[in-house]
Structure 1
Amino acid sequence: MGLDPKPTRSVGFAEVSSQGARQPIVRDVAVECPIAIEINGIGYAVMMASPADIEDFAAGFALSERIVEAVGDLVAIDSHAIDGGMILRITVAAHCLPRVFDRVRHRVSESSCGLCGIENLEQALRPLPVVTEHSLADHAAIFRALDGLRAHQPLSRATGAVHAAALVGADGTIRLAREDVGRHNAFDKLIGAMARGGLAWGGGFALLSARCSYELVEKAALAGCPMLVTISAPTNLAIERARDAGLRLIVLARSDSLLDCGD
């Protein structure tokens, strides 16, 4: 039997109060499953993700990994549910294959936090393109987007266990959002959905319900995002990489305050 592709599952719990009262309850939990990614038949990576918006995830992942330069380089995307997970088969244009072989040779696992050798270190901190577009959004637009984000988080409202990535217009209106148990995956899904739908940043920005790691900064820069806003704190490397790429970075964005790394 293959994986149920629904992103939530109902599970029974025993709810215990501070006074010791106990009662059975049923609530939705987020589904997290391994997705084995193959590119032109080559095993590339296994990611833990939510089994939703898989084609968007495939497109965004290929773009963020620098396997393809444009969505037009994606020839086909096929996903298949299997016991315990999913296989995601991506076919890219022939001219992209050297990048696939190079990335497989140098690939660093996101889950290990370990680097082996100078070549891998250089791959982990590859130069980023300079962001040329500027966001037209002011701080009021950011607070407006923060107020509206929850309405675009159905999985988070149901489970409380997933991240969101949103495309926000210059006026603070949320134009598109994607969710996933992984913050990187949510952003890949947003980037992929934008690429597949022909959507541009339009002077807006990306809003992420996550801490700001350097990987998210890199995804933003590669996607040409003019401003990245995250709800939680950044790492020093995220700040440094954003400044190197000319990416405006807003962090610890809450309903009553934010930190502008450009000020």
Structure 2
Amino acid sequence: MTITHPFDRVTPDSQRTPHARAVIAESPIAIEVNGIGYAVMMATPQDVADFATGFALAERIVTTAGEIESLDCHHTPQGTIVRLTVPSARAVAVLERVRRRTSDSSCGLCGMDNLDAVHRALPVVPAADVEPAAIFAALTAMRAHQPLNRATGAAHAAMLCAPDGTIRIAREDVGRHNAFDKLIGAMARQQIGWDGGFALLSSRCSYELVEKAALAACPMLVTVSAATSLALDRAAAAGLTLVSLARDDAVLFSDPVR
């Protein structure tokens, strides 16, 4: 989703000309679970149902898309409200998490509960069996699946790649986490698995992306930029193969099996 915005284009010799350019849309998306306000995320308001589904899975609100009993999107001038209905047993954990957030006297990221959450156990993912040629094939095809980024230069992408590198599904968003949530949500809603393939992201690899990949049972995560130390540690614990600094001439493999 783009918006055309007027700019002044200025050159080094101070020549100024009017210039209209496509700008990526960014707006708040409020997530409600069983009537409880859970989070407000800044995102590109397209593929919103995919985003909300992937977000619910990444937050461990649900374990499968089938546990989402209903998902309704309401677009307003201020942003988008997504209302999820989940089984009451799931909603209890959501309510407790919201209570802990609102009772913090300091910032919402502080406290032992949050430190423990960073290191909470991740499921062990299936072993990856992907040839390097498939990664380079996906990198070559990647740009063709990024129309929003071509138009604006401001979108991240997350892609499901087949074992031979063919790109099966792609999602874009102003945020790298959001793009991955959209991809995982799209796969869950369409009941599509990794089937021996891998995820390709246009961003760096932080620990949050590793956690999303592990919870989605992704066997291999490929990112265009580098991985952080915590991402490498968490990936090893989950048995997740990380491929970072993925460029046309070389990639860096971090293989937990080795």
Shorter-chain TM-score bucket reads over 0.9
Is 1:75 the counterpart of 2:69 in the alignment?
yes
Q: In 2, are the aligned partners of 1:106 and 1:123 still within 8 Å (CA)?
A: no
**Could you tell which deviates more after superposition, 243-252 or 122-131?**
122-131
2:128 corresponds to which residue?
A: 135
Q: Which amino acid aligns with 2:205?
A: C
Is 1:187 the counterpart of 2:205 in the alignment?
no
Structure 1 counterpart of 2:118, from 124, 129, 132: 124
C-alpha distance in structure 2 between counterparts of 1:148 and 1:169, whole Å: 12
**Could you tell which deviates more after superposition, 18-27 or 252-261?**
18-27
C-alpha distance in structure 2 between counterparts of 1:113 and 1:166, whole Å: 34
Q: In 1, are the aligned partners of 2:31 and 2:83 still within 8 Å (CA)?
A: yes
Flag the 1:114–1:39 CA change in 2: closer, same or farther, 3 A: closer
Structure 2 counterpart of 1:92, from 82, 86, 92: 86
1:56 corresponds to which residue?
A: 50
Structure 1's unaligned 5+ residue stretches are 1-6
C-alpha distance in structure 1 between counterparts of 2:25 and 2:107, whole Å: 24
1:220 corresponds to which residue?
A: 213
Q: Which amino acid aligns with 1:228?
A: L
Please report how far the alpha carbon of residue 76 of structure 1 lies from its aligned counterpart in structure 2 after TM superposition.
0.8
Number of equivalent positions: 253
**What is the aligned-residue RMSD (CA, Å)?**
1.7
1:1-263 pair list within 5 angstroms: 7-106=1-100, 115-131=109-125, 133-262=126-255
TM-score by length of structure 1 reads: 0.92
Q: In 2, are the aligned partners of 1:155 and 1:179 still within 8 Å (CA)?
A: yes
Q: In 2, are the aligned partners of 1:146 and 1:254 still within 8 Å (CA)?
A: yes
Q: In 2, are the aligned partners of 1:30 and 1:181 still within 8 Å (CA)?
A: yes
C-alpha distance in structure 2 between counterparts of 1:219 and 1:23, whole Å: 45
- SS of match in other structure, 1:98: helix
C-alpha distance in structure 1 between counterparts of 2:216 and 2:139, whole Å: 22
C-alpha distance in structure 2 between counterparts of 1:138 and 1:100, whole Å: 41
- SS of match in other structure, 2:38: strand
Structure 2's unaligned 5+ residue stretches are none
C-alpha distance in structure 2 between counterparts of 1:162 and 1:119, whole Å: 33
Please report how far the alpha carbon of residue 214 of structure 1 lies from its aligned counterpart in structure 2 after TM superposition.
0.2
Please report how far the alpha carbon of residue 103 of structure 1 lies from its aligned counterpart in structure 2 after TM superposition.
3.0
Q: Which amino acid aligns with 1:122?
A: D
Q: Which amino acid aligns with 2:223?
A: T
Q: Which amino acid aligns with 2:4?
A: S
**Could you tell which deviates more after superposition, 32-41 or 79-88?**
79-88
Moved over 3 A (4+): 105-108, 112-115
Identity of aligned residues (%): 60
C-alpha distance in structure 1 between counterparts of 2:3 and 2:41, whole Å: 20
Cα deviations across residues 201-227 of structure 1 (Å, max 9, x unaligned)?
011100000110100000000000000
